[in-house]
């Protein structure tokens, strides 16, 4: 034994370094090859082109969203330096700013909380339904609704702002928010009063959710209360194709 230690000590240090590096290299090559395995297999199936298309469409969506946010910023900047009858323009700009805030078209910062939802790591009980151990769109919707009830004023899920047009739906074991694919963990950020968490945790609906999902199936719910939270702007369409503003008809004369 001492002889072996002696021999190792006698080795030049660069040889030891090289040995460790080569060992790591070998490990990584093996890991890489095994990771490639399933992907290579998909190319022989129908699935891979779909995955490629989905990834491609997602990249396009990200680019379009960035473009929308940029255009809105530029429009707002131009409007604010607009000329014309100054008082009226200023008044309209103030109302526009207010409307954009109400609509969720501006990113916000303020007091609030962050909740993180993740699938259960518990083993599926015999006879139980595997999907009960996965965070569903309904779970995320429940959390969002409970946050609104607790007094939240703005909410985002990962980087998607929740607006009046936001649908949250299941897709496999994941969810779509504003038709954008979201991977776990789901981070629900809520802006609201400083005591938002104590209000939320006091609500029977949230307690029911926690009991039914976290305690029974081990869905992981974690909380962070940073000094301030950032909520992104809604990067989507606000076009109305069917709805028109209803101009109130003059009240009928008596």
Q: Which two tokens mark 151?
A: 């007094």
Residue 95 near another protein by CB under 8 A: yes
- Please list every residue from 2 through 61 that binds another protein, using CB under 8 A: 14, 17-18, 21-22, 24-25, 28-29, 31-32, 35-36, 38-39, 42, 46-47, 50-51, 53-55, 57-58, 60-61
Q: Smallest distance from the beta carbon of 85 to another protein, in angstroms? A: 7
Identified binder of another protein from the candidate list 143, 162, 200, 219, rule CB under 8 A: 162
Secondary structure of residue 45 in the 3-state scheme: coil
Cα distances from 37 to residues 32, 50, 189, in angstroms, run 9, 18, 37
In angstroms, the CA 193 to CA 188 distance is 16
Cα distances from 96 to residues 74, 75, 80, 218, 239, in angstroms, run 14, 12, 10, 45, 16
Q: Smallest distance from the beta carbon of 59 to another protein, in angstroms? A: 10
Residue 113 near another protein by CB under 8 A: no
Ordered alpha helix ranges (H), 81-164: 86-103, 137-149
Q: Please say which residue, 1 or 35, places its beta carbon nearer to another protein.
A: 35
- Please list every residue from 122 through 141 that binds another protein, using CB under 8 A: 137-138, 141
Q: Please say which residue, 42 or 216, places its beta carbon nearer to another protein.
A: 42
* Antiparallel, parallel or unpaired: β 168-171 and 174-177: antiparallel
Q: Please say which residue, 126 or 241, places its beta carbon nearer to another protein.
A: 241
Residue 169 near another protein by CB under 8 A: yes
- Please list every residue from 197 through 226 that binds another protein, using CB under 8 A: 205
Identified binder of another protein from the candidate list 8, 16, 40, 67, rule CB under 8 A: 67
User: Could you tell me which of 253, 187, 170 has the C-alpha nearest to residue 224?
Assistant: 187
Identified binder of another protein from the candidate list 8, 43, 98, 128, rule CB under 8 A: 98
In angstroms, the CA 164 to CA 197 distance is 23
């Amino acid at each position: 034994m001492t002889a072996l230690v002696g021999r190792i000590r006698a080795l030049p240090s660069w040889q030891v370094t090289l040995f460790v590096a080569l060992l790591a290299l070998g490990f990584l090559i093996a890991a890489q090859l095994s990771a490639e395995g399933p992907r290579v297999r998909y190319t022989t199936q129908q699935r891979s082109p779909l995955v490629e298309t989905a990834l491609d469409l997602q990249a396009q969506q990200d680019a379009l969203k960035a473009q929308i946010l940029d255009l809105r910023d530029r429009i707002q900047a131009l409007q604010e330096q607009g000329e014309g009858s100054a008082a009226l323009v200023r008044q309209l700009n103030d109302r526009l700013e207010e409307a954009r805030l109400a609509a969720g078209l501006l990113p916000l910062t303020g007091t609030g909380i962050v909740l993180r939802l993740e699938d259960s790591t518990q083993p599926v009980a015999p006879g139980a339904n595997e999907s009960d151990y996965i965070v569903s769109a309904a779970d995320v919707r429940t959390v969002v609704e409970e946050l609104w009830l607790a007094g939240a004023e703005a909410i985002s899920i990962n980087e998607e702002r929740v607006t009046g047009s936001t649908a949250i739906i299941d897709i496999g074991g994941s969810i779509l928010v504003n038709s954008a694919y979201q991977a776990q963990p789901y981070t629900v950020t809520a802006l609201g009063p400083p005591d938002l968490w104590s209000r939320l945790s006091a609500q029977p609906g949230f307690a029911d959710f926690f009991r039914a999902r976290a305690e029974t199936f081990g869905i992981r719910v974690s909380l962070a209360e940073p000094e301030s939270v950032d909520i992104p702007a809604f990067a989507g369409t606000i076009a109305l194709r069917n709805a028109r503003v209803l101009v109130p008809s003059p009240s009928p004369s008596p």
